[in-house]
A and B are shown apart, each in its own frame.
Chain A
Amino acid sequence: MGGRKIVEVPVTLEVPVGPQHPALHEPLLLRVYAEGEEIVRVEVNTGYNHRGIEKLCEGHSFHKSVFVIGRVCGICNTVHTDCYVRALEHLLGVEPRERALFLRVLAMELERIHSHMLANAVLALNVGFENLFMSIMLDRERAMRAKEVLTGSRVMADYIVVGGVRRDLDDSKREKIARLLDALAPRLEFYKRVFEEDETVLKRTVGVGKVSRLDAIRYSLLGPVARASGVAIDARASERYDAYGELNFNVIVNSEGDVWARAMVRWDETLEAVRIARQVLEKLPSDGNPVPDERKLPRKFPAGEAYTRVEAPRGELTYYVVSDGKGPNPYRVKIRTPSFNNIVNSPFMFVGYSLADLPAILASLDPCISCMERVTVIDVEKGARRSIALRDLAGGE
């Protein structure tokens, strides 16, 4: 036999500029070089969906930019606005009321719940367990409904402004959210057990995509990906921003570092988020109106720089805002989303695993994909091309 057959698999993942995570690289091009079934190299190509938000913010006033920032990512919009608004509040020296801080935490934790459910549902879909995917999405509706009760919209919260939040929570709404969480919690426990006990899930995820603790740190991996490899970083615990200083919660860490560990970290964090949300509902202080008057927001921003960090569902999200004190617009807004680190640094994770493991590993990084495109297999020897749907690679249908 002559040379070896090298299979070049360009996988283009396309995401619409919609309520998904578009801060970077979607569509994403992963050039996978495989010998037979084993992946030997991966190259990540990015840049298809760059919307120039950082430049756009320089053209808008600080307050208008709050709404632009909320639309960087649909599934993490609350944490983006929270991070940016906190940077502005540092620049201005404004401290919102306690009640507003607690309500912000509530919005962010509800978002964490529905984001993690989505991430694990997509993982289930990628390992071929469509039934589980559908069931999780059905229960996820409760989290979306709770967010709608709180903020006025299921996905795009537009809830946080400089000085507080935009809506208050009255008792009937509080009851509603509490009841939705009560209905959701046992379902989450059930899904966690499915991931722990179901053989099909275990076979596809245990031992796959292992990342050692040292690699996780050196490659600046963040969020559940890092925590599943034993790196105990959580911006909520270190920064104690908003009302996190007054709430009890645990930082969930696993040591296995494989796809299964990441899924388990996400389930545990979801359950933890429910606990935090319940604490917020109980401890909600009544120290006045959490809604600032948006007509009287300060226009003049003093010169300064602020760097804020927040724990988005995907990891540590940072904002670096520079104000030159001369106008109503920011001088520089630098956004570093967690998937930026996780995905661009990810190629090393795929090496040594089979092609069929690729979707599972990619989904465990939680890159917010909405629709997957076809995979083209190039047989170098014969020069022929075949198209396989990524679903078939995953063994879905």
Chain B
Amino acid sequence: MAALVKLKPLEELFTGRSSVLPGRVVLEFKPDDVRRLFSGLIEALGPDGFFISTLSATDLPEAGRVRLDYFVVLLPEEETVVFRTYLLRDKPVIQSVHDLVPGALPGECEAYDLLGVVFEGNAHLRRGFLAPEDAVELGEYPLRKDSRV
């Protein structure tokens, strides 16, 4: 992963490191640092040095947490790095980065609608973005493990 050296200036933000098959590096960070992380990425790599490819939220009810994975592709090598953070399941709140990186918008809207993760500062969040009306009326978040859908 030659492109990883580019992330050296941000090393202090990372609290852990693991991997996801096939050989993609996962860097953990604290949820409060999300804006620092992305503004740091813009500074270190330039606004055209990366893009957010996928934003995935996973419900981990046994651990009482919701895991958020930001899959970021570094350009021009086109290598994927995973930035991972954990939110409390009862209050999954994190700051939005869509003003820094507009490409995060769809992922944030989806995570809100399907799992209930609140991205502060994102005015576009709404229920019914993807979930059907009857789920919204029941107040259900479809992808949660205890959801009744």
Q: Which residues of A are interface residues toward B (Cβ below 8 A)? A: 24-25, 46-47, 50, 52, 54-55, 87, 90-91, 213-214, 217-221, 231-235, 237-238, 304-309, 316, 318, 320, 322, 331-332, 334, 336, 340-341, 344-345
Contacts and interface: CB of A to CB of B under 8 A. Distances in A.
A341 B131 contact: no
Contacts of A336: 53-54, 56, 107
Contact of B51 (A217, A306, A332): A217
Contact of A217 (B48, B58, B130): B48
Interface string B94-114: 000000011111110110011
B128 interface: yes
Nearest to B62: A324
Tell which of A47, A54, A309, A332 has the most Cβ of chain B within 10 Å.
A47
A192 to B, nearest CB: 27
A307 B143 contact: no
B87 interface: no
Contacts of A238: 77-79
B24 A307 contact: yes
A42 to B, nearest CB: 13
A305 B20 contact: yes
B129 interface: yes
B142 A55 contact: yes
A217 B78 contact: no
B47 interface: yes
A54 B145 CA distance: 12
B130 A50 contact: yes
Given A213-B48, A214-B47, A345-B105, A318 B54 contact: yes
Contacts of A219: 102-103
Nearest to B100: A218
Given A213-B48, A219-B103, A305-B21, A320 B54 contact: yes
B14 interface: no
A90 B71 contact: no
A332 B20 CA distance: 14
Interface in B53-104: 53-54, 56, 58-59, 69, 71, 73, 75-80, 82, 101-104
Given A50-B130, A318-B53, A307 B142 contact: no
Contacts of A316: 53, 73
B10 interface: no
Given A90-B22, A318-B71, A322-B58, A218 B109 contact: no
A334 B56 contact: yes
B53 A306 contact: no
Interface in B29-59: 47-48, 50-54, 56, 58-59
A213 B106 CA distance: 20
B54 A233 contact: no
Given A46-B129, A47-B113, 20 more contacts: A52-B149, A90-B21, A217-B48, A217-B51, A218-B101, A218-B103, A220-B53, A220-B103, A221-B103, A231-B75, A232-B76, A233-B78, A309-B80, A320-B69, A320-B71, A332-B59, A334-B56, A334-B58, A340-B106, A345-B102
